Structure 1
């Protein structure tokens, strides 16, 4: 099929490259000339495993092109809108400026039978409003909402081999068009849910709200464990054997971050209040509050580990991205912890395999190094905040030889406490005895 993708950020670039790799002819459009130039040259503007290879293959095939000119979408029959919906500057609500601009920009190039497909995460009710815009435009194009469920670090796989496909449609005829787009995934047995606009919009935010709630629940249990002497990891293992609960996303630690979960649950809360049903999701405010408290808790534990004498002490912060296998530092707990410790007077040195450039742009006051050992050398305290494999696999005996103080805070509960203690370390986990 001939497809256009409007917006070539994290979601759009991955979607465009993956669709071309599946055999479609794709043009990606973005107003950022530098980003478009990089993508056209086969360079991913962010770190995502497998994307460079898929991007290079799709470009070499001739099925993928990029442009800054919306007119390049002419001839495409399916138009995916994959622009950002950031949190508004003055409220928790989602900023739909880019979504509205994308739809308006597409109107002159739409033809009878074209399908505009929303991928962006939007407040419920947005698709109904945009469908009316298309209907009033006289273009003959229709709208569907097809939410994304990408996990950073696995985005290519999640696009090519999704665990489910959700179509929110206003016209049953549009189902066949989307089936053609996703023919390979459907042939492989991917479940497909066809529903209305509102349900499709709610699927993504409801999923994120549930995951955020599960993470904050176990972190709330960690807060109780810390004052009772219980071990939250053993607790999670025990309740995780209950099939109704499950073990995944029950890892206590410094909490969630990134460009989706925090802003999506806040936007969901704001939209529910607009609908007069704020009480229905009022618990999400506490979910958010618990999550933010865990960052403060890590800073408190750092102060305790240094016996209250933080000023001038070298603190090695291991990891700055919100999760491993990504360079994304948006709302990153790791970066937040580093900034808090710097504000307390510590000499903070941050290391990360992929996220240093993005972190340096946001917080140039911190010291950064690509070398893990350089960050750890003569450190008074080490804080593991992002569970990159190279940090999880550190040898406590070797590290003990290069630091000044054998104090480590495991803010993800991923290290072996016994091994670190045996090597002479003062080990502190979150919610662990």
Structure 2
């Protein structure tokens, strides 16, 4: 008989995981402490934009016409404990205020609430990104609190979701990593992930610490690769080189690869920045801080790119933002998402505004969230409206909609045709042919 699955925490990770588990054929019960979130999900609505997620919810949420009925949501810990054989913990681990370390309070609270209610054999599976050593500590706490004692096991199964591709990444992962202490936990997780494993997804079995480190190491490597090419952009600007051609040339080396080698205003979002900082903090606690000192420079390079874009914009509008209209295309930290957490685009827009610029922002999906973070910025309903009367246009999130913009049409509404491409994705030749000055980080002026 297939195990019944619960998902604790129904934010971005949890809602996606719950819907995907139902798609894989399991009976699923999702839990959240916020009743309004449960009500939304029970209507197959999500509080964030993620392509394909609402469609998957509509396909499986119980009570909806034509659904499989395999997915329900609740606020009851007792119901979850009674229902589930496998409990996935998918709660948030944000960066602590004023510190690099991550806040484990939500994970701890989930275990403290669930464990005393586990009166029969169960597997608790952590998916949240946590500092190494957390799984061993939580396993001890489970053993102390669970009435079923040794019949309750812990496994760690880190997530590797890309925003905008989360549904695909859950149903067809490029790898499945499980940290376990026994064969029973491994067997259960092989059953849970039998479909993607059967389709060829590698199944990597490790101990707890290695499973926890995999996510931190993966994100640190990606962040390092992005900051490396941005450091090369700084050198290219000083030497009058072209970072786009440099990236193309080194990307042909299979040991390096082409991905994550596009210079621009850097990375943001709710994962990479917080994860590399939490990794540094944990390494320091373990006495291995010297091993990760390079990540401080990775972080520094990344933040420096935002300031550099502000400087380029100031130079473009004549040396001062006071009274100057600036259009910003993009508010989210990446396309195909409405996530503005630590968004480089919104950070740049905010800096220009604070320095006296009249900034108007447009983003295909992130406007509502952007307004919450920066209510004092101006917002437009289209790229054309955002650019009306602007002395400079900044392209800061690489939405496909922006690549399809007509340089002539946009040129007819701006005050001056100056474009700063903060993502190195627009066709420089086409914009220059339409009379625009086009600048991008690490690229020649013409």
- Normalised to the residue count of structure 1, the TM-score between the two structures is 0.99
- What's the CA shift for 1:44? 1.1
CA–CA separation in structure 1 for the residues paired with 2:380 and 2:71: 36
SS in 2 for 1:402: coil
Q: Deviations over 1:265-287 (max 9, x none)?
A: 00000000000010000100100
More deviation, 183-192/323-332: 183-192
Q: Which of 327, 334, 342 in structure 1 is aligned with 2:338?
A: 327
Q: What is aligned with 1:72?
A: 79
Q: Which of 10, 13, 22 in structure 2 is aligned with 1:8?
A: 10
- What's the CA shift for 1:108? 2.6
- What's the CA shift for 1:32? 1.5
SS in 1 for 2:168: helix
Structure 1: tracts of 5 or more residues without a match: none
Q: Which of 191, 194, 211 in structure 2 is aligned with 1:200?
A: 211
Q: Deviations over 1:56-106 (max 9, x none)?
A: 001121111111222221221000000000000131001000000000110
Q: For the aligned residues, what is the CA RMSD?
A: 0.9
SS in 2 for 1:35: helix
- What's the CA shift for 1:113? 2.3
CA–CA separation in structure 2 for the residues paired with 1:239 and 1:111: 57
Q: What is aligned with 1:102?
A: 110
Q: What is aligned with 1:391?
A: 402
Q: Which of 119, 133, 136 in structure 2 is aligned with 1:111?
A: 119
CA–CA separation in structure 1 for the residues paired with 2:430 and 2:173: 39
SS in 2 for 1:143: strand
Q: Which of 353, 362, 369 in structure 2 is aligned with 1:351?
A: 362
CA–CA separation in structure 1 for the residues paired with 2:209 and 2:196: 24
- What's the CA shift for 1:196? 0.1
SS in 2 for 1:184: helix
- Normalised to the residue count of structure 2, the TM-score between the two structures is 0.96
CA–CA separation in structure 2 for the residues paired with 1:111 and 1:355: 44
More deviation, 302-311/48-57: 302-311
CA–CA separation in structure 1 for the residues paired with 2:432 and 2:380: 27
Q: Which of 29, 40, 43 in structure 1 is aligned with 2:42?
A: 40
CA–CA separation in structure 1 for the residues paired with 2:256 and 2:218: 15
Structure 2: tracts of 5 or more residues without a match: 62-66
Q: Which of 280, 288, 297 in structure 2 is aligned with 1:269?
A: 280
Q: Deviations over 1:138-174 (max 9, x none)?
A: 4231000000000000000000111111010011211
Q: Which of 438, 442, 445 in structure 2 is aligned with 1:431?
A: 442
1:236-385 alignment to 2 at 5 Å? Answer: 236-385=247-396
Q: How many residues align?
A: 433
Q: Which of 103, 115, 132 in structure 2 is aligned with 1:124?
A: 132
CA–CA separation in structure 2 for the residues paired with 1:335 and 1:429: 18
Q: What is aligned with 2:180?
A: 169
CA–CA separation in structure 1 for the residues paired with 2:368 and 2:199: 39
- What's the CA shift for 1:111? 3.2
Q: What is aligned with 2:64?
A: none
CA–CA separation in structure 2 for the residues paired with 1:8 and 1:84: 10
CA–CA separation in structure 2 for the residues paired with 1:109 and 1:374: 56
Q: Which of 219, 222, 229 in structure 2 is aligned with 1:211?
A: 222
